[in-house]
Amino acid sequence: MLDIELIRKEPEGIKKAIARKGADPALIDEVVLIDRNRRRVLSELERAQSELNRHSKDIANLHGQQKIDAINNAGIWSAKVKELKPEADRSQREFVDIMLLIPNPPLADVIDGASDKENTVNRTVGEISKFSFKPLDHVELGEKLDLIDIERAGKISGSRFYFLKNELVQLEFALAQYAMEILTAEKFVPMITPVLLNREAMTGAGYLPAGEDEIYKTQDDLYLVGTSEQPLAGYHSNEIIDGKNLPLRYAGFSSCFRREAGSHGKDVRGILRAHQFDKVEMFSFCLPENSEKEHEYLVSLEEKIVSGLGLPYQIVNICAGDLGSPAVKKYDVETWMPGQDQYRETHSCSNCTDFQARRLNIRYRDKDGKVAPLHTLNGTAIAIGRMLIAIMENGQQKDGSIKIPEILHKSLNFKEIKR
């Protein structure tokens, strides 16, 4: 949620900024009008409550006609309070509802663009795999080596689900452990998070109301997480953190669930875009003045993880129109997948500034005792399904086997997958 003071002071600037994300600038005009009415009603309610309190106190100290007058006045102001309270509640709800629709404006250095087609590559690292044979994709490899069963998953769950089998199961756990070892060495706190959240927490993380079509919802009005960013964002909700303890960094493991409602016909083959997958996510709470530096730090850890696996990758700068609602700036890491003959997104990393913190009421206290919203950031450590694809396709050999990155050998009882 944006700071209303910023909107009051710079409405035209905010209009231009959110328009870069594809949001309707007219939202800001509506906010200004709704906020003005809300402040008027709240001011009237505050005055009525003050007058009621004053006359109520006078009743105990007055006698005769003065006491009767005070009782009558108290009754008048009590009726006024009762009249104004529902209006004040309505105006506050209306204000919150429209504020929740306004995205976090992108930073000034974010490139313009309306879609992912206008994202730009910052740099490319590593040589792409070269083969003396036509490389297979992960679906063909998974079938030949009995590692993935999509057909039988379809019988019991439908499309975009899969069974992992045999060595690929062990490889999943090795990848999760690999990421956790790197992050705990950097003093991240390892966490296994809930995968069901209430509406308040999901809204606070910035994924409701706009993203409702992409989220699974239970009959108990709980939402399945699409990333452990969401529960980690709410971990310190309604808390004040001593600024001396920032940054607080967490490494969350969870299963993730996404309806993929807007991706019909896109990446339908294989396990790249599934309704369920596992992931290790980084999340950071930091001081506002440090969030841009923290963003670069999280990206550096993503690079360390991918490069440690010996995989070629590129860093992509995300344009304004391709940013989600909470993020002011975002980078993707795209890893080379030879079976598809292209780089594909395996990691993302976002700076959300104080957007989530304001929604979740997470603040910090500085050395002078002042309290203010902190900043939040998130980044993928390992999206396991996509890393499995990259390892399988880059590690495939002419004889049909798959070489496993050396850094994972200590966690496995095999160095290659073969039949």
Question: Which positions are catalytic?
Answer: 258, 273, 345, 348, 386
The residues, ordered by sequence, that sit 6+ positions from 125 with a Cβ below 8 Å of its Cβ are: 303, 307, 312, 313, 314, 315
How many CB atoms within 10 Å of residue 145? 20
Output the six-digit token pair for 332: 């993707």
Q: Across-strand partners of 248?
A: 285
C-alpha separations of 322 from 15, 23, 112, 135, 254 in Å: 17, 12, 9, 32, 25
Per DSSP bridges, beta strands 189-192 and 163-164 are: unpaired
CA nearest 47: which of 81, 23, 9, 21? 81
Output the six-digit token pair for 270: 């294989």
Query: Using the 8-state DSSP alphabet, how is residue 214 labeled?
Result: G
C-alpha separations of 154 from 159, 224, 276, 295 in Å: 5, 20, 13, 39
CA distance 389 to 148: 11
How many CB atoms within 10 Å of residue 79? 12
CA distance 202 to 221: 11
How many CB atoms within 10 Å of residue 281? 27
Output the six-digit token pair for 40: 């008027």
CA distance 289 to 241: 16
Report yes or no: 403 and 390 within 8 Å, Cβ to Cβ.
Answer: no
C-alpha separations of 141 from 47, 148, 152, 417 in Å: 73, 9, 17, 10
Report yes or no: 384 and 175 within 8 Å, Cβ to Cβ.
Answer: yes
C-alpha separations of 359 from 85, 153, 230, 374 in Å: 24, 38, 12, 11
